[in-house]
Structures are given as C-alpha cells and as structure tokens.
Structure 1
Amino acid sequence: MFGNVHMEGDGWRIVLLENPSTAPRVEIDIKQSQNSPMNDRMLREEAIGIAEEFMQSVKARRFADWPRRATKPDAEGKVRHPFLEMEESNLWYCLHCDAEITGRQIAGSHWHCLGCGASPINIFPEAFWLGPNEGKPVPVQVRAEGQEVEPIVSIVDPRPRLDLSKDQVTHLIRAALFEDATNASERMGAGLAEIWVDDDLDVVISFEDRYWPEEKEPTAAIDVAAVLGIELELEVMWSDPLFAWPGLATVTQSTADYTRMMLDAYRSHGIVEERNKDQ
C-alpha cells in the first residue's frame, strides 16, 4: 500500500507496513543467508530504526488530508473517520472480523483493525452487517501496553516463481488461437472461442462453427499445450452469428476491409440503424 516503507540493501529488505500494530518484516536473500548483516541483531535494529524514522514522514504526508480528529480523540474518546465524512464515534466496528474498537484504539492504529489488520475502508461506526440473530461484536484483543513487537525475519528466494494458474493458461491458449487465425473470420473465432481449464490445467476449447472451420486444427494452440504438458480437447458450438453473412470475413485478412464489406452488404440487402451522435 501507499503507506508502506521498503528499505533494501545487498541481499536484504526491510518492510514496514502502514498498520503500526504489525511487526517489521526482514527478508534475507537465501544466497546470503549465512553472511547477511541482518543476522546481526544490533545492525538489524539500527536498520529498522532508520526505516521507522522515514515512516514518520510517510505518515505525515498520509495524514495531511485526514481531519485532525481522525488521529486526535476528544475528551470522550470520539474520533472522526478519515474517509467517511462527518462520522464521529467513540466505538468502531470492523467489517472483516466484527471486532469492537474504541476511538482511542483505532486512532492509535491509524484506522487499521487491531484484530485482523483490516484497512480504514472496513471500519464503521455501526456493525450494520450483523443481523439480530448473528451475535454481537466482541471488544478487540490488543497487545499489552509496552509489549515490544519482534521483527519477523525470514529467508526468501527472490527469483521469479511460476505457478501456472487457470487464467494464465487461458491467455496463452487464446494468444495461440489468434496466431493460428489466417483471416478476419478466424480472428473473431479466436476471440469468441470458449476456453475451459480444469484443476489439472487441461484445456477444452469450444469453437463457434460459423467463425472457425471445423476441419482447421489450431496448431499453435496444440503446440502451446504440448509445451505446457497439458491435454487439449476441441469442441464445436452453434449460435447465432455476430453479423449476417459471416462468410464475408473469410475473404480478407483485414478487419477494416471486412467491416466495410459487412456494412455495404447491410446497406444493400438489409437495414442499418443510423446512430444519432447528438444523443
């Protein structure tokens, strides 16, 4: 988020989240895990201190647009929400975990839930989402006053990691279908094709028969599936064409040329509804 602070060195990184109740994160590159300066507790604390000093200026910029009462409770403990205009209360509720938080607590946590860490947009003066039979909010559990938060030190491998998702496979297969397309009709067929990816990442492609020849094999898509080591199954579906005379799209590679031919055909043999640009 915009209020986070990242400080990096050779093979290490410190992350301070804008939620002040969260522990600093120290990440050490696995290649330097044995000789990293972040293994030295004193050096680590000094580096975290530098990051915390910078965090003060980040907070100042973030709070500049907040109402003063958002971070300064009045005598009754009432505070004003930084985003919900004119909403003031001494009790606040978290949409995520149903916690009840006092005004002083929420101001001190910079409007992050002390229970689950939810952001200010999830904090409200009433628990309006709870029905009469859904229980009541419970006061949030907070850390004992003065209790220090130890940084979380972890060894990380910063190299990019690929864990293929269904969405990624879908994009690769569809890109391959466009590569297979040789005319405007087949490009529309590539766009209209329905692609299903199962939990094993095996793929089923369902082609619209009016825009993709039934006898045409999508060789690029087949090659992509082979590279990924997944199975590919092809189907055909039937539905109304996007435009009359869909065969016109098979005679040109240019989508603009097809559009002109399609409009001319409608003007000669059909009806073209004229658009009123002033509406």
Structure 2
Amino acid sequence: MNKLLPPDYHMHTHNSGDSQAPMEEMILSSIKQGLSEICFTEHLDLNYPLLPDLPPDPFMLDVDAYYKEYSYYSDKYKNQITIKFGVEVGMQDDCVKENLEFVKEHDFDFVIASQHLLEKRDPFYSDFWEADTVDNIFKKYFDATLENIRSFTDFDVLGHLDYISRYVPEGDDTYSYKRYSEQIDAILEHLIRKDKGLDLNSKVLAYTDLNLLPNPCPEIIKRYKEMGGKIITFGSDAHTPDRVATHFDVMTDIVKDCGFTEYYTFKKRIPTAHKLL
C-alpha cells in the first residue's frame, strides 16, 4: 500500500459507454492502493458517430443514475476515501452549446474537456489514419483542440492533450512535441491565460509491451510549467479496477522532473493545491 500516490482524477465505470466496471470495485481498488481521494469522470460525448461495433449514442450520460450511485458509495466509504463527482466532456464544434448547458445544469466537482474525435472520426480505428497523412492529421487535431477550448469554456483541465498519439500506426515516428510546438504552445498559452489545467494521463504506461509516453508527453508537461502553468491533475483513465492509479509512481517522477512541486484537487469546481510527495 502506497499512501503517497496522488488522487486519481480520471476514471470510468459502467456509467460510461466504454466500461463495464462496477463503481464499488473501482472504489475498493483505490482504497487497496492507499489513495486518499478519487474523482469519477464519466463520459459525455454528444453527437458521437455511428460505428459498427457500438450502439447509437454510446456516450450519452444518465446523470441522475450516476449521481445516485455516486452519492450512495461516497457516503458508504466516507471514512476510508474521499470521492468526487466529475465528468469528461467530449468536445466537438457542433455541440458546444449543448455541452455548456449540460455542465451548467449539474453540480460537478470537476470537469475534463477532451478531444476524442477529429472530423467525426475516431483515432482508435485504423481507418482513421487512411484519410490523410499522419502529419496533417496531427496538425488538424491540435487546431481543432485549440478551437474547441476557445468555444467550450466551462471546464477545469484539458484531457490527455496529445491523445491521438496513442493510436498512430505501428512504427510511425511522426509525432513529437518539437514538430508541433507552435500549435501546442498556443493551446498551453490559452489554458494558462484562462486558469485551466492539464490532465496528466498515465493510461498508456500500463501497456508494457509498447514504448509509449503518457499523455501529454513529458516535453509538453515541462513546457506548460515553463510558460507558467500550475494546475495539474493525475489521471489513470482507468476503465477497470486493475488500472486505477496505474504507474502513478512513474508519473510523479516525471512531473517532478518537469519542475512541479504541487498537484491539484477540486471541490465544486474550486481548485486546491497539494504538495507532491
């Protein structure tokens, strides 16, 4: 048991369309690992494209059912762990108004804004990369991210900034921070100016058979700090209990090497700094 790990502020249960995990099992896994706090961030991805292996509207969120379950377990385990109520909103330019209204209508502790799609296509699927060169796809992705965080303003951290780097075709080495630094710096500058933070996402570190970096990559984390960024949260992006807080020890070392001495938690959308141990 490691009581020095930071809270896991990015996790999903059966309330998200791509997870079957019982909420209680995610909580028990967090307690077993010694986490003092977690935040559930169930998916809301409006206008998600129709795909053959998914039902229609797979990332609609039944907030009432989610909150009822959250409230029950938050109270049940209140003497063992603090549990926060969050959401991960998928950004697209055709549902900005709906996303803003959704967040305003609900009493979330924490909101992640994430760019999961590009031009109604999902990078998880291999045919995503057939539409253009990898270089052009990355340029379009970062342009879309900046456009969306300028439009969808009601969030706390940007989720896994270079998310699509997880899914590049095997062997492709196009992506690097240096290659897209101008676009990425524009995103970071906007986040800092608007007092928004970064979700430091460790999900891919669990794939030990691949030589992958967390999202965002360490160069981006370091650059965010150099530019004056302060607000960071740790997220495993866990969809199963065994992935809760995955490689947070590694992430903590990365973050310290990038110059950070604090991480943040949220309550009713208000950030609080804590010393990294």
Does TM, normalized by the shorter one, top 0.5?
no
Bigger-Rg structure (1/2): 1
Superposition TM-score, scaled by structure 2 size: 0.18
Where relative contact order (Cα < 8 A, 6+ residues apart) is larger, the structure is 2
